[in-house]
Amino acid sequence: MGRGTASRVLNGSPHVSLSARSAVLAAVRDLAYVPNAAARALVRRRTDAVALVVTESDERIFGEPYFAAAVRGIGRRLGEAGLQLVLVMARPGGDEGAAQTAQSFLTDQHVDGVLLLSLHAEDPLPELLESRGVPTVCGGSPATTRPRTVVDADNLGGGRSAVQHLVATGRRRLAVLAGPQDMSSGRDRLAGALDAAAEARCPRDAVALAYGDYSEESGRRAMAEVLAAGPPPDGVFAASDLMAVGALRVLREAGLRVPHDVGLVGFDDSPVCRHTDPELTSVHQPVARMGRLMAEVLLARIAGDDVPTETVLPTRLVVRGSA
């Protein structure tokens, strides 16, 4: 029994006789044989694993339903292709050594490709990976203008539709609780909102503005900031549902009723929207589909195919009770 035949059986090649196949399988059982992934990877130059890197604190990764949906979409598609998804956490707070370890893991051909989620502006990772020849796909554009493979939601259009809805329902004193401005999603949602405000002849400096980091806590702070700075708005767009939840709390504490006194729109259309009172009007983004598409595009890159540089998926407003 040659090694060639055994290898063929284990890899499902059709050019093996029935008797040889069963003999190999029997031997595998008897010897409790486990193939060695390293040796296989060494010659095939493939590991059949893909890393998803989330550059975010553990709290946010595990707090945001966003990641759950993205992982589901990614995992499904990868599973269909027989690849294993592994999650690598690269928390910004981590020490130098840990970051180094993670970097080596990603570049040293442990994985066939890398998916990057939740990128912040100065993140060196996309640059580094591309320069090392590791196929990479970003979810959400990195800040740099270098050509990259990116899958993103239409944050601009989403921000725009949120504010358009507020305006269309008679709100005139607007406030935007924007997300982190070192992320494209944060910038785009804000830009879209301001666009729509301008279109509605709402002068830019008449729009109250405060910033957060997508977390509920930051939404509370931003809302409080806006209330402290001037007359209360009658329409608020928060860059994430969590921020909207924080804002809702602060509005209520300030004696303002939603939606009677203030219309409130969030972003993400996450499950929490249905748990607030009133239920939260929010911009839906197809996160699972984005994840799936990211995987799809990465698979194509790994196979060496040409892929579109940037794919943008549509968002849409889901109207509920809060605006």
Partner DNA sequence: GTGACGAATGGGAGCGCTCCCACGACGAGC
Partner DNA sequence: GCTCGTCGTGGGAGCGCTCCCATTCGTCAC
CB of 38 to DNA, least distance (A): 7
Q: Are 275 and 216 in contact (CB under 8 A)?
A: no
CB of 23 to DNA, least distance (A): 8
In this structure, how many other beta carbons lie within 10 angstroms of the beta carbon of residue 137? 28
Name residues contacting DNA, limited to 29-88 (CB under 7 A).
Answer: 33-36, 39-40, 42-44
CA distance 211 to 179: 6
CA distance 150 to 158: 18
Q: Closest Cα to residue 138, out of 105, 113, 159, 155? A: 113
Among residues 11, 13, 132, 310, the one that binds a second copy under rule CB under 8 A:
132
Side chain identity at 173, as an amino acid letter? R
Name residues contacting a second copy, limited to 245-284 (CB under 8 A).
Answer: none
- Residue 146 interacts with DNA (CB under 7 A): yes or no: no
- Residue 10 interacts with a second copy (CB under 8 A): yes or no: no
Among residues 4, 79, 230, 271, the one that binds DNA under rule CB under 7 A:
4
Among residues 11, 84, 104, 181, the one that binds DNA under rule CB under 7 A:
11
Which structure tokens are listed for 241? 């549902």
Q: How many residues does the chain have?
A: 323
Q: Which is nearer to a second copy, 5 or 57 (CB)?
A: 57
Place of tokens 């279109």: 199
Which region among 82-90, 159-167, 256-264, 302-310 touches a second copy (by CB under 8 A)? 82-90
Q: Which is nearer to DNA, 35 or 314 (CB)?
A: 35
Q: Which SS3 state, helix, strand or coil, does residue 55 take?
A: coil
- Residue 323 interacts with DNA (CB under 7 A): yes or no: no
Q: What are phi and psi of 104, to 5 degrees?
A: -60, -40
Give the containing element (helix H, strand E) for 208. strand 208-211
Pairing of strands 235-238, 174-178: parallel
Number of alpha carbons in the 13 Å side-chain half-sphere of residue 64? 25
- Residue 69 interacts with a second copy (CB under 8 A): yes or no: yes
Which structure tokens are listed for 207? 């729009």
Q: Which is nearer to DNA, 6 or 54 (CB)?
A: 6
Name residues contacting a second copy, limited to 37-66 (CB under 8 A).
Answer: 37-42, 47-49, 51, 58-59, 61-65
Question: Applying CB under 8 A, which residues contact a second copy?
Answer: 32, 34-42, 47-49, 51, 58-59, 61-65, 67-69, 71-72, 75, 79-80, 82-89, 91, 94-95, 97-98, 101-102, 104-105, 107-110, 131-133
Binding footprint of DNA on the chain (CB under 7 A) = 1-8, 10-11, 14-17, 19-20, 33-36, 39-40, 42-44
